[in-house]
Amino acid sequence: MFEQMIEKLSHDLNILSQSLASFVTPLNMLVLIGALGLAVQAYIGLAFFISSIWEKERRATFFGLLQFLGMFGLLLFYLFLAWVGFFHQTIGLVLLIAGYVFTGVAAFFLLRKTEPNEKALQGSKGLICGDVKRFDEREQVFARNRTMRPGSEQYDMFYKEHPEYEAFDAKRREKGGPIGHPGIIDRPHGDANVAMTLAGQSMCLNLSSPEMVTPEPHFFLKERLEKGKVELSPEDATVKVKGYARHLGAALVGITEINPLWLYSRRGEIFHENWEDWGGEVSLDHPLVIVIAEEMDFDLVGPAPHTPTVIESMQNYAKGAYISTQIAAFISNLGYSATANHLRHYDAILPPLAVDAGLGELGRLGYIMTKELGPRVRLSAVTTDLPLITDKPVDIGAHDFCIICKKCATCCPSRSIPKEDDPHEHNGTLRWKLNDETCFDYWGKIGSDCNICMKVCPWSHARTFPHRLVVWLITRNKYVRRIFLVMDNIFYGRKPKPKVPPKWAEYRAKK
């Protein structure tokens, strides 16, 4: 009986193997692989549809549903054709092979890494095309309108040297201050948002005193540090600094040598009545800078230009002040020198340093464009003499993308972002130059910091799976950038409307 069972099992296995052999033919394998490919495509379409619902993007949800239904319908139709044996006929086989050829050609052109942008790989040096003069912080639009006090000695001195600004700035001040009356665009229902905004702003001011910006070692450690600095290899110090920064809330961290061209030439912002520093030369002995990017919340950037977005701006500036002052204190406690750079104290212009630190490229809108978050970040930094390992500049395709996109320029309500295809020379650097005067005027008009350019940038979408996949593709391939730019305009619109904010940041009256 046992022998009979073995014989029957052997017979059944033989039949099964013959059946499998008849099924696992090259043609059947081609059909199966095609089905799997279409299934993956449909899955990506479903993921995008779900992502659009989560993002509360009605237009994208509608088109995402149409896209998924089309992909899923194609998969079902393909499976039906396979089931009825269509691909075993001559015309079916020809179509199947044609599909593979088309897919192979498309994959070759769209998945390969196209030629790199050599200038991007040079960092900020790749942008220099002439003599660069260090920028005087006193001329910055914020410093002129926030720090300068009419009738003061500094006011008279500055406008005597720069009469071209006086009438323009005086007219702006008549509108109600540096950025007008906070929250005008959302009044009278946005006052709570203004209160939150100013709370975040006060945090930056509280962390901008000299002892916070350039801290001394903790008194518990001074006696020990008199015997020498804490010994760390540059590799270990880098791991600890970057890890600590991320632990404190940094989204991205990069390190670079300081190019003196990006230091301010003279001090222009005063916050603690230290007017003796105003107009003084900015000098720095630190060779390195740690550049930190803080993520702007997707849900709060979406309602731009309304007050929820300025809450998030100040929250991230406050976070940058918190992170940079703690990193500076940490380095000081190791026995080295460090200075925090944040909203209420800058020694340097941070975007070009962020480029050199490998965080991204400079975009058309004037912000740093990061691979991970696009322009949806705020920057802070710490300069130091602590030996660290520096990062290298990156090419993520942002320059090429910004040439063809222009969405930020199209949507800018003050027309402050240039629309020209190619960047132009400005102060010895080749870039798209934001008109900070008209941009700042619009801030004053609405009582917010706008952020429309950040919101509409196709690189600012939430980092869900389908968007991460798109970013991976567009950082590699110039042809994909053009395809997905067209798709972004279809799915999200050429001029996206402000999104509804979270309930706690509402600015409209309840019905």
Q: Positive or negative, the Cα torsion across 280, 285, 287, 293?
A: negative
What confidence tens digit (pLDDT) does each residue in 154-170 have?
Answer: 999 999 999 999 988 88
Share of the chain above pLDDT 90, in %: 83
pLDDT tens-digit series, residues 411-454: 999 999 999 999 999 999 999 999 999 999 999 888 888 999 99
- Cα–Cα distance measured from residue 43 to residue 475, given in angstroms and rounded to the nearest whole number: 22
Regions of the chain where pLDDT drops below 70: 1-24, 176-180, 510-511
| pLDDT value for 20 | 44
Q: Are the beta carbons of 132 and 427 closer than 8 angstroms? A: yes
CA–CA separation, 336 vs 228, rounded Å?
10
What's residue 398's pLDDT?
97
Under 8 Å between Cβ of 214 and 328: yes
Residue 215's SS3 state is coil
Question: What local confidence, expressed as pLDDT, does residue 254 receive?
Answer: 98
Among candidate residues 435, 442, 436, the one with its CA nearest the CA of residue 184? 442
**Per-residue model confidence (pLDDT) at position 245:** 98
pLDDT value for 113: 93
Instruction: Tokens for 470, please give them.
Output: 């798109």
- Please say whether the beta carbons of 147 and 270 come within 8 A: yes
Rounded (10°) angle between helices 153-161 and 163-173: 130
30/156 Cα distance (integer angstroms): 80
Adjacent-strand bridge partners of 430: 425
pTM for the model: 0.92
Residue 430 φ/ψ, nearest 5 degrees: -95, 110
How far, CA to CA in Å, does 244 sit from each of 241, 253, 372, 402?
Answer: 5, 10, 19, 33
